[in-house]
Structure 1
Amino acid sequence: MSRNAHTSTPINPVLAARWSPRSFDTTATLTPADLTPAFEAARWSPSANNNQTSRFIVGFHGDETFNKIVPTLAGWNAAWMPNAPVIVVTVAKVLDAKGNRSPYAIYDLGQAVAHFTFQAQSDGLYVHQVAGTDAQALAEAFNIPEGFEVFHTFAVGKLGDADALPAELAERENAPRERLPLEEIVRYDAFED
């Protein structure tokens, strides 16, 4: 079954093929070199005033970093993410040199992750972003300095078999992909009352 998006107009095939699986190939081992192009894409994503506020902590399955991340996973994420080859913690530098909060740091981090995701998908890897992690526990585990904040985590790997997931997650994995219609999310005038 194809997981490609059914778009209202043609888009880049990499974007149409992108989706967020929960089942990753547990036999596929990734290395830092496998992720370098995606991190390079993240590095070159747009950044307000070129502040470059995005940071990443990378754990490879079974290493010390990965093992620090896993206990912070919440809800359903704890059922499938520990099987991913890689889990990445995203961190944003939210305070500038004067101690002022950057209004764009999280936005820029989102752009960096989007660029990472596009490049990873281009390279045959899948990314699944989650908010269900304990940011405070991650900040403590990785000694995040003042002025920086943990935002979320994401899993990276090659696509695995959905049947390896618990039944409820396998069902969600195989469910049709859905999005709001374009007309509902794009406006060319004010919102109606």
Structure 2
Amino acid sequence: MTEDFEVPDGKRAESSVPLHPLLAARWSPRALDPDAELDDARFRALFEAARWAPSWGNTQPARYLAGRRGEATFDRIHGTLSRGNRGWAESASALAIGVARTLDDEGEPLPYGEYGVALATQNLVLQAVAEGLVAHQMAGFDRDAVRAEFDVPAGFDPVVAIAIGLPGSAEGLPDRLQEKERAPRSRRALAELVFTDRWGAPRF
């Protein structure tokens, strides 16, 4: 694993107090290295990290479809992405779809399935950073196409697509995406997000 957490200018989180370097280094580039390969150990580590995420009642609702570039599964996932995502995501070392279990064994609704996938996927993303990789989560994909392509059964809902790889050059991206790659990251101030006493009263 790497502890360098090298991040381009403007992409490291600027926080009011120090964050763990792994958190500060996490960002979501679209410029990925089309020649970078993901070895078995690092690929497996991503999903091992996801497996150990917390979940409601330890129901462990997160499932993944995953493939590395050059594998048929990668191409099939790639085909379900939106047009805007297909262009840059073809350079990823791996693609995955996070799927939430939404029904239990009796066919009853399973609470917090989507929340569980979010927790597991954040684990995956942070493990990617720890492995010297980057990961970009996407809402832009065809959920029905995923269901059909991979025979996803009832009671499971595709939630998120994820591109994983190494950072690459932004030169080949469309102009609007190059601008996003080079723009500094920003977040709302804590005063807008955390309240006390009453809604809207800043805690920090």
- 1-structure distance, mates of 2:159, 2:131: 25
1:103 CA drift (Å):
2.0
Deviations 1:15-44 (A, max 9, x none): 001100001111111133222222111111
Q: After the TM superposition, which residues 30-179 of structure 1 pair with which residues of structure 2 at under 5 Å, given as runs?
A: 30-179=38-187
Q: What is the Cα-based RMSD across aligned positions, in Å?
A: 1.5
Unaligned runs of 5+ in 2: 1-7
Query: TM-score of the superposition, structure 2-length normalised?
Result: 0.90
Q: Which amino acid aligns with 2:124?
A: F
Q: Which amino acid aligns with 1:86?
A: A
Query: TM-score of the superposition, structure 1-length normalised?
Result: 0.95
Identity, in percent, stands at 40
Report which stretch shifted further, 79-88 or 127-136: 79-88
Map of 1:11 onto structure 2: 19
Out of 35, 39, 49, the residue aligned to residue 27 of structure 1 is 35
1:57 CA drift (Å):
0.7
Question: Are the equivalent residues in 1 in contact too, given 2:170–2:181 (CA < 8 A)?
Answer: yes
- 2-structure distance, mates of 1:187, 1:36: 40
1:66 CA drift (Å):
1.1
Q: Which amino acid aligns with 1:91?
A: V
- 1-structure distance, mates of 2:109, 2:198: 30
Deviations 1:45-69 (A, max 9, x none): 1011111111111121132111111
Work out the number of aligned pairs and report it.
193
Is the partner of 1:163 in helix, strand or coil? coil
1:5 CA drift (Å):
0.9
Q: Which amino acid aligns with 2:117?
A: L
1:134 CA drift (Å):
0.2
Map of 1:191 onto structure 2: 199
Q: Which amino acid aligns with 1:95?
A: L
- 1-structure distance, mates of 2:130, 2:78: 27
Give every structure 1 segment of 4 or more consecutive aligned residues whose post-TM-superposition deviation is greater than 6 Å: none
- 1-structure distance, mates of 2:62, 2:73: 18
Map of 2:190 onto structure 1: 182
